[in-house]
Structure 1
Amino acid sequence: MIIILIFILGILREVSPYIFKPEPSVIDDEIQIEEVASGLGTPTCIFWASEEWLLVCDTNSQSILALELSDGIFSEPQTIISNLNNPHGVLLWEDSESSVKKIFVSQAGSLNYWKIIEGDTPLEWKFGELETIVEGVATGNHQQNAISEGPNNTLFWHSGSTCNVCVEDDERSATIIEIDILTDNYTVIATGVRNSFDGVWVPEIGYIFTDNGHDWSGESYPPEEINLLEYGGFYGWPNVTEENPNPPGSISPIGTHTPHSSVNGIDLRPKNSTLPGGEYTLYATVFGSWNTIIPVGKEIIRIDLIQNSSYSQGWEVEITVVVEELATPLPLKFHPNGDLYFAEYAHGTLYRLT
């Protein structure tokens, strides 16, 4: 009877974020939060195509949605690309010399793009033929996630592991992959990255990315990671254990967060933002865990990068929770005006932090 009760309580805990919509609690008095849009399905990515247009990955409808922001109010979302396979990343890129525009989409197992051959706004865009840069990447427990812009016409693509702990058959799994936008060539530039959801380029420092540790090693291990990219670096998975948290030849994280809490979307606070922070402040979503007895995560955190020569890469982090009691916060991006937006996966809602 007790086992059945525990099982039922476990099921209720997992489904409750999808049934009940909690009221966000802002810890930092300087921050205000408001719900600004709904009807986004199950959003896994958001991207500002301009100051007026927000693009959203919706895995419920398997599409890319577009919403217009005018005088602080969003239009109803409309589909601009459909028939996708679990889209987890979208990015608009324009060649500064030729003015060629491309929209990149990360799907389960592939990275694709379309040239935008006509139109000024997302609802007016006309696309060329579907082009594929990478395909056939293995999927399983996790899949391919965000696409982020790097320096010198490059993209960083986050490719999750197929399992909890294993040796991957596909060398592109559990990695970060660099894409040359001009040639469509790609290279694996980081390995041992179990399930990195997102990352952001920080001028003068480099590429900062999140990574989520393996499950079934107890409540208190392993922590979620904030990492600094080193080209060709190995980040420890699947060799990392509680007894050996930094396997030989691996790069340690510059910061960690609550084990199993699932740190995911991350972005750099722009200088014009009114949110608390400085030049090297990032904000991130913490989705929440199914692999702990006591629920953890479901929050927005502030991450301050601090120089520290005692760390192997010269940087450490200080983490502060700024919003809590959320349901399933996942994608997050700053607007060009400095406001911060994030979406709730379970409820298809968009929030603004100012």
Structure 2
Amino acid sequence: MPVVKALTCFITMCMLCFVLPAAAQDQSRELPLDKIKLPPGFSIEVWAEAPNARGLAIGKNGTVFAGSMAEGKVYAITETGGARQVKTIANRLNLPVGVAFRDGSLYVSAVDRILRFDDIEQKLDQPGKPHVVTTRFPREKHHGGRYIGFGPDDLLYVAVGAPCNACETDPDEFSLISRIKPDGTDYEAFAYGVRNSLGFDWHPETKELWFTDNGRDWMGDNIPPDELNRAPSKGMHFGYPYCHGDDILDPKYGAKRDCRKLVPPVAKFGAHVATLGMRFYTGKMFPSEYRNSIFVAEHGSWNRRNKTGYRLNLVRIKNNKVVKQEVFAEGWLEKENAWGRPVDVLVMPDGALLVSDDYAGVIYRISYKKL
């Protein structure tokens, strides 16, 4: 009985990790944006209200699309003459976290399947039923919110997390980043040993895939780290569940693999900060030193004695290598109380940065003006 009770408690905490943001929203309250600390010249504003907003993508005509977790909705945000409108284009989907846009169509992840809304920017008021691109992916909902995105090779990349905290599974089904053709065919695993990635992007110059990965739980408050990884080619193994960070052996599976033969991260983040969305900055609004740096959203810890994360990190890159990390925006966490949790980032055509926040239920816009 004690084991069953403990397991029930653990499952409940995991469920709260995902469900709490939707329940905690209060759209009527004014968010304390003055508490957000940014570098000189930068400012932040609420760009749109979108309950439980998660993954972000932009259409050809400038429509911003946002997936969600607890809400099961997909949003489309348009702007005409300075007036912004948020429309719900899909309801009651199965964890539609990831969104991606290609050739007029919006692709949406829904656990075991990828859905497609064709000619979506012309049908925002009546999008109709989506086309099912594939049902190739696992049905497990543990780490079932899948981040997706189209690569420079015109293939759709789909992250598939582990169905557990730490376990060995079929390496071609779980704990990986996969890719498929836009029509859903030719599935293949691209990167192995990836516990749960909810953010990736391609270097603007080298076209190599970079991605975040969440470290496992229950190894203590300070290990293992969350990771930033680089995958220049197919077939690389990034450690999970055997090794974490550079050389931290998993207490159960670590003896089965030599960490030196697995790919170490290019950068390590704090333990349990929950690194999610990331994007290379390719805009021209921000100062030139931000060009090709990576903005990373730290969603924040849920099972650590003292909370950590709840901020935006900046990872500076030089010659395709990480040279520095620094906090770019913080203030969503005050004395162990969080009022916001950054999820995904998106560089807009004008160079501004959008940031989704599933806890506050909004999308922020961060802009820059020279002082």
Same fold (TM over 0.5): yes
| Contact preservation (8 Å) 1:107, 1:144 | yes
What CA RMSD, in Å, does the superposition of the two structures yield over aligned residues? 2.7
Q: Distance in 2 between matches of 1:329 and 1:102?
A: 26
Q: Which residue number corresponds to residue 318 of structure 2?
A: 306
In the other structure, the counterpart of 1:254 is 266
Taking the aligned partners of 1:126 and 1:73, their CA distance within structure 2 comes to 22
Structure 1 CA distance for aligned equivalents of residues 341 and 136 of structure 2:
29
Q: Deviations over 1:103-141 (max 9, x none)?
A: 21111222222433xx75352565576223243414243
Other structure's SS at 1:45 match: strand
Distance 1:237 1:89, change over 3 A: same
Alpha carbons of structure 1 residues 66 and 286: separation in structure 2 relative to 1, 3 Å:
same
What is the alpha-carbon distance in structure 1 between the residues aligned to residue 124 and residue 306 of structure 2? 44
Match of 1:318 among 299, 320, 324: 324
Q: CA deviation at 1:169?
A: 4.2
State the AA in 2 paired with 1:166.
C
Distance 1:120 1:223 in 2: 40
Distance 1:37 1:221 in 2: 36
Q: Does 1:353 align with 2:366?
A: yes
CA–CA distance in structure 2, aligned partners of residues 258 and 122 of structure 1? 43
CA contact (8 A) 1:330 1:344 kept: yes
Q: CA distance change for structure 1 residues 281 and 72 in 2, over 3 Å: closer, same or farther? A: farther
Distance 1:68 1:350 in 2: 13
Q: Secondary structure at the match of 1:277?
A: helix
Corresponding position of 1:213: 215
> Equivalent residue for 1:4?
none
Once the two structures are superposed, the pairs formed by residues 161-176 of structure 1 within 5 Å of their partners are: 161-169=162-170, 171-176=172-177
Aligned to 2:297: 285
Structure with the higher strand share, 1 or 2: 1
Asked if 1:27 corresponds to 2:38, the answer is yes
Q: What is the CA-CA distance between 1:167 and the residue it aligns to?
A: 0.5
TM-score, normalised to structure 2, is: 0.80
Unaligned runs of 5+ in 2: 1-8, 251-257, 333-339
Task: Note the residue ranges of structure 1 that are not aligned, 5 or more in a row.
Answer: 1-6, 95-100, 308-313
Q: Secondary structure at the match of 2:229?
A: strand
| Deviation sequence 1:185-226 (CA, Å, 0-9, x none) | 221011110010010111333111110100111111111111
1:29-61 deviations in whole A, cap 9, x for unaligned? 1211111221x1211112111454111113343
> Is the Cα contact below 8 Å between 1:138 and 1:170 reproduced in 2?
no
Q: Does 1:42 align with 2:44?
A: no
Residue 45 of structure 2: SS of its match in structure 1? strand
Alignment of 1:81 with 2:90, yes or no, is yes
The one-letter code sitting in structure 1 at the alignment partner of 2:345 is L
The aligned runs of 1:1-354 (5 Å cut-off) are 18=24, 23=33, 24-38=35-49, 40-50=50-60, 52-75=62-85, 77-94=86-103, 101-116=104-119, 120-123=121-124, 126=127, 130-169=131-170, 171-181=172-182, 184-205=185-206, 206-229=208-231, 230-241=233-244, 243-244=248-249, 247-274=259-286, 277-307=289-319, 315-326=321-332, 327-354=340-367
- 1:84 is aligned with what amino acid? L
For residue 91 of structure 1, what is the amino acid of its counterpart? A
* SS in structure 2 of the partner of residue 319 of structure 1: strand
Aligned sequence identity (%): 22
Q: Which amino acid aligns with 2:88?
A: T
Q: Which moved more, 1:29-38 or 1:42-51?
A: 42-51
Contact 1:254 1:317 survives alignment (8 Å): no
Does the 8 A contact of 1:37 with 1:350 survive in 2? yes
Partner of 1:92, secondary structure, is strand
Length, aligned pairs only = 328
Q: Deviations over 1:148-201 (max 9, x none)?
A: 121232121111111111011473211000122266322101111001001011
C-alpha separation between the residues in 2 aligned to 1:136 and 1:92?
A: 20
Which whole-Å CA distance do the structure 2 matches of 1:135 and 1:243 have between them?
33
TM-score (norm 1): 0.84
